[in-house]
Amino acid sequence: MVEKPDNTIMIAEGQASLYRGDAWIGQTACDHMVIQPLRGIPKKVIIYYQDGKRRAGLIKLRINLHVSRPGGPVSHDYQDGFENVSPEHEKRLLAVYDKFPKTT
């Protein structure tokens, strides 16, 4: 992901930064948004299209543990995963996204 956001705005909850075309679902580039509340943990959001409809979901860090045998060594790896959100939460995330200036 890109270091510098394409745009940053202040919102009631804190600050939101937008990275255009910075995330991928399969072969499709999507927009990535980070919402940094005044207090609390930042939310990493992905904006994508599904069946012609604009959608939003959360990017979550997933930890995978691998055990070769009971009582044996445990290995792990990390990867970003995608999490769907409720329709109400999705509506709020898209409302924040809509506050950013449109590109031409």
Per residue in 1-37, pLDDT tens? 557 999 999 999 899 999 998 888 878 889 999 999 9
Q: What is the pTM of this model?
A: 0.77
The whole-number pLDDT of residue 104 equals: 61
Note the pLDDT of residue 26: 78
Residue that wins the pLDDT comparison between 70 and 31: 31
pLDDT of residue 32: 92
Residue 56: exposed, middle, or buried by beta-carbon count in 10 A (0-12, 13-18, 19+)? Answer: buried
Strand-pairing partners, residue 54, are 49
More confident: 3 or 95: 95
